[in-house]
Amino acid sequence: MQDWWRNSVTYQIYPRSFQDSDGDGIGDIAGITARLDYVASLGVDAIWLSPIFTSPMADMGYDVSDYTGIDPLFGTMADFDAMVAKAHDRGLKVIIDQVISHSSDKHPFFEESRSSRDNPRADWYVWVDPMPDGTPPNNWVSVFGGSAWEWDSRRRQYYLHNFLTSQPDFNFHNPDVQDWLLSTMRFWLERGVDGFRLDTVNFYFHDQDLRSNPPDPRNTAVPKVNPYDMQDHLYSKNRPENLSFLERLRALTDEFDGRAMVGEVGESRRAGEIMAQYTAGETRLHMAYSFDMLGPEFTAEHFRQKIEAFYAAAPNGCPCWAFSNHDVVRHVTRWTAFGSQDALAKQAIAMLAGFQGSLCLYQGEELGQTETDILYSELTDPPGFKFWPDYKGRDGCRTPMVWDDSDQAGFTSGTPWLPIKPPQKARNVAGMGAGSVLESYRETLAFRKNTPALRHGRTVFLDLPDPILGFLRDDLMCLYNLSPNNAMLTLSAVPSLVGPWQNAEIEGNTLTLGANGFAFLTTA
């Protein structure tokens, strides 16, 4: 189907932590292949794999040293081809992560670029002279802490790195860089992948005048844990030149049937605006998502505002809504003040199923999986070391998938690369029976797939008292009580429950929603 991606459901797999097939404690491609029947049983349309390319693993694969090679840690190209074939046989599309805003400093092109100022790839990365006093050219900071500029003694210049110093940024103002990156993506399209998840898609271009970023106007007197969040990143990312490159990306994917791209918009102030801009029309990204729903906010007003703002800016655009991924605390833990773990987990998939657009689920959330409490001695994530203890990094959401209650949870026969602790082991696939979170996910996704209003209907929000979130999708009413306390609504007509529901009772035209209750209703 040409537009399979529209209103689709994608399941994110973090390869290091999904299934280990060879006992080294690290998940791999063969392990993913072995578990594809489970993924297909959820009722999703596609899988997204976090990076599996050759890498020194300074940032767990988000530092690529060979864009067309499989890292031996994960297997071989033959393993990859077999995985894609089985996924397609099971009706699953395959999306792979593309980390093209930067490479590893071990990439041969960066090693060549840093060797002199006049080599063939001297301008493939962002190099600048120091100020007269030896300092960097502006105030740009790295997402992972410290200056975004690193001094290189060989070139006697600074290079830009929005993340680790070992992740130098490509110079997208150089058309040769664009051409080469597009060629690496063509390689994977020709190999049969169905699309790309574009990491940090709004980071590609930088301001050529190197203007300093202003402070974020939301700053308070108390500095934030990460000073990156204290700037309004007008010049280090979000540049208008990005749009023409997105059109080149779209032109490439349009050469192949049924391919799609979803872009990660890493931005805190204008995320919805950028998402809409990047997906407007038919010549840019197919889908985009931001971190707007990956934070602590859990109110009807918040969810309504994000959805309405997107569609006001891009009525025909396609967002990709998610509550968890490999970069944030799992949503059941983030929202623990608003209900019990199981009730929140079941309500979360009912909310996502109701939202207009496409959805992305992160491995383990279908189990109601919680964040792992990581000790400093167990850390692997660079920002965790940098900002401990106020920010413990991303390891807590990246611990291995829990398949059963055996010693290593069915993930490996060896020692897992991150610990599997009792609270996580308690939420295992084998132990999920009738009435479980897993059953709720399967039931709700099946309901969404078989309900035209949820696949194609426009959203009209209802003005309801807090903490109730409510909207219509055509003739289907979706209601959610975002609290652990009872809430009541009197409806203008006598409703009928359809599809999955939780803690919902109807008496006449009065609906009572219990703790984290939700209901799909018709009044026909």
119 within 8 A of 127, measured Cβ to Cβ = no
Active-site residue, from 105, 199, 366, 395:
199
- 85 is written with which tokens? 């074939």
Q: Out of 255, 301, 407, 466, pick the active-site residue.
A: 255
Show the beta-strand stretches assigned E in 342-439: 358-362
Answer for the pair 500, 350: CB distance below 8 angstroms, yes or no.
yes
CA distance 260 to 348: 25
The token duo for 524 is 């026909």
Q: How far apart are CA 108 and CA 67, in angstroms?
A: 11
Residues 6+ apart with CB under 8 A from 28: 15, 19, 20, 21, 22, 73, 74, 75, 79
What type of residue sits at position 458?
Answer: R
- Tokens for 306, please give them: 């994000």
Q: φ, ψ for residue 349 (rounded to 5)? A: -70, -30
Backbone torsions φ then ψ of 341, nearest 5 degrees: -60, -50
Question: Which is nearest to 43 in space by CA: 351, 332, 361?
Answer: 361
- Residue position matching structure tokens 């797999």: 13
Residue 506, strand partner residues: 511
State how far the alpha carbon of 132 is from the alpha carbons of 135, 136, 349, in Å: 7, 10, 56
CA distances from residue 314 to 125, 274, 284, 318, 319 in whole angstroms, order as listed: 33, 10, 12, 8, 9
Give me the residue label for tokens 């696949």.
Answer: 455
Q: CA angle 138-270-313, nearest 5°? A: 140
Residue 422: exposure state from Cβ atoms within 10 A (0-12, 13-18, ≥19) = exposed
Whether 199 sits among the annotated catalytic residues: the reply is yes
Structure tokens at 232: 């309004």
* DSSP 8-state assignment for residue 6: T
Closest CA to 141 of 228, 217, 213, 219: 228
Residue among 116, 115, 90, 112 at smallest CA distance from 103: 112
Supply 215's token pair.
């402070």
**CB-CB contact of 346 with 523 (8 Å):** no
Task: Please confirm, yes or no, whether 297 is among the known catalytic residues.
Answer: no
How far, in Å, are 45, 154, 261 from residue 439 at the CA level? 17, 58, 29
Catalytic residues: 199, 255
